[in-house]
Amino acid sequence: IKASKALFLNELPSNDIVFRQVFGSYSCTPTFQTVCQRVKVFKKRILSMTYHPPLKDMRFTLERVVGLSRLPEHPDFGKLDGDTVMSVLEPAAQLAAEVLAPLNKTGDHAGTTLKDGAVTTAPGWKDAYAAYRDGGWNAVPFSPEHGGQGLPWLVAFAVQEMWQGANMSFGLCPLLNQGAVEAIEAHGSAEQKAEYLEKLISGQWTGTMNLTEPQAGSDLAAIRAKAVKQADGSYKISGQKIFITYGEHDLASNIIHLVLARTPDAPEGVKGISLFIVPKLLSDGTRNDLICAGIEHKLGIHASPTCTMSFGDKGGATGYLVGAENEGLKYMFTMMNNARLSVGLQGVAIAEAAYQHAKQYAADRVQGFCLTDKTRRVSIDAHPDVKRMLSHMKALTNAGRMLAYESALYLDLARGGDKAAQGVVDLLTPIVKAWCTDNALTVASLGVQVHGGMGFIEETGAAQFYRDARILPIYEGTNGIQAMDLVFRKLTRDNGAAAMAFLTEAEKFKALADVAAQLKTATAQILTLATQNSERAAALSVPYLNAFGILAGGYMLSRAAHAAKGAMNEGDAAFMQEQIDLSDFYRAHILPHAAAYLAAVV
């Protein structure tokens, strides 16, 4: 057993959970031969599922496509260069690959359990979270004033992509916490910032977003949760919230809920919504009047507890108003816009994981003969149609990563005071959220297809990517809502100026010029419809967003190909040629879909 354990761990990270899966199911001591056979089979299965953070792709995107040089100077590090950023990304990649990724499959099987209002996460989760927290990873993008590292969102996006790609169920906890930090930092009082931010940023506590209710869904005007002001200035919160990610868990010592509710005299509709901080444990350590009443059994993300939260069953949970009454909708969008970009990034991450999985399987699976040499059997990645599927997966993944990172750059520029940059962030947020998450489903589905019949079998792991990805076009605002946000808010607020400027840049690439010109025409028509026939504009909003996303992805890959051609003589010519080939493939196989969507719009 010791020898086989050494054999096993030579090729895998030292992970007790994985090891127990090999040896823990025996009721008596097995023979050495039995153990070795079990190790051989299990090792092959686990190794085929390993996620390797795409550091080379990330660095190329950061340095040569989006451009680290465009970032404002960091107060401590000055101008960030590739080597400095890689000193952050490499240890993050180690944590993602060696700690989080091995738990992805086991967490999918184990799920979470609820007993007496307490949620127990999957085996290994607490240790993994402790490693994540103690490594300081939760603090990467936040203000040093409250214990953050103050690194740009552009760098934070690359780090976060690794958490989501390695284990999306795990990555959801810091993602929701991030939104809570953003809301309190932007709208909380000085006292609230002092009490909550340091612990939320360190990861000692985690945060949630409590928006949705059973009767409301995405219609926030229908929210019924109540907030009654008390003599001491606090509020008593009562009501039920559903679909609360990590609403209850055992990873942190406290959970800080951000809850939307109405005061008794609030106006009807969304204008009467207020935002409250409702901690699980109050400042004196007593348990607040809130409880997890149930956890959902879901299609995917099984190891992420999706909770029904009940507030005020014993008279009212203590809550504290954020900002002013009836301004909760505005504050909520601080959380939502942050989360929407992060969900788009989740789409990129799970697409990358599905692609890696399919690529490895296709390289190992020998089946059929070479079309030009009938005497030679080949692995399936030599077959043209499998090559096409893998190229499609890789092209969509790279285009999505570049577009998401581009959004992060403009987020950094906007926070540095660039008002025009904020317009770009506003424009790209619904596109990144919707287009990148739709692509995640496409890529994960192609990954199942590459596996053939084995892709439909849970043991291979390809199906989990598809199941996990299916939530992405739904939560944080369905992709239909993103399309209407693009048409009715983001275009109309500046009469399409940011969109037209983006398309003008894309037109500079000859291969994109025709589609960009068609999209300009469609944008002008959509703007007219938005004011004259809103129902028709809404009906066309999804194909319009899809066309914009496809063009934007082609624009980013064209920039990548241009950068690769300029770097061809600097080493790693094969990698640079891959960037050029992916851009060519995208223009031939994916870009034409934009014209089809635009035909529907026009």
Structure tokens at 456: 């439909």
Structure tokens at 415: 């926070």
Q: State how far the Cα of 155 lies from the Cα of 152, in Å rounded to an integer.
A: 5
| DSSP label at residue 74 | B
Query: Which class for 84: exposed (0-12), middle (13-18), buried (19 or more C-beta within 10 A)?
Result: middle
Spell out the residues 6+ positions from residue 452 whose beta carbon is closer than 8 angstroms to its own: none
Q: Which amino acid is at 136?
A: G
Q: State how far the Cα of 427 lies from the Cα of 336, in Å rounded to an integer.
A: 15
Phi-psi region of 241 (alpha: psi -120 to 50; beta: other; left: phi over 0): beta
Query: Is-catalytic flag, 476?
Result: yes
Q: State how far the Cα of 126 lies from the Cα of 129, in Å rounded to an integer.
A: 5
Alpha-helical (H) ranges within 473-533 are 479-485, 497-507, 513-532
Burial 50-70 (b: 16+ CB within 10 A, else e): bbbbbeebbbbbbbbbbbbee
3-state secondary structure of 208: strand
Q: Which residue has the tokens 């967490």?
A: 107
Burial 230-255 (b: 16+ CB within 10 A, else e): eeeebbbbbbbbbbbbbbbbebbebb
Phi-psi region of 147 (alpha: psi -120 to 50; beta: other; left: phi over 0): left
Contact predicate 195/283, CB 8 Å: yes
Q: State how far the Cα of 344 lies from the Cα of 438, in Å rounded to an integer.
A: 9
Alpha-helical (H) ranges within 238-285 are none
Catalytic residue among 63, 248, 352, 476: 476
Which H or E run includes 463? helix 462-469
Q: Which amino acid is at 251?
A: L
Query: Which class for 358: exposed (0-12), middle (13-18), buried (19 or more C-beta within 10 A)?
Result: buried
Supply the Cα-derived Rg of the chain in whole angstroms: 25
Query: Which class for 78: exposed (0-12), middle (13-18), buried (19 or more C-beta within 10 A)?
Result: exposed
Q: Which amino acid is at 561?
A: A
- How many CA within 13 A on the CB side of residue 351? 29
The number of residues in the chain equals 602
Contact predicate 277/261, CB 8 Å: no
Helix axes 168-187, 153-166, angle to 10 degrees: 150
Catalytic residues: 476
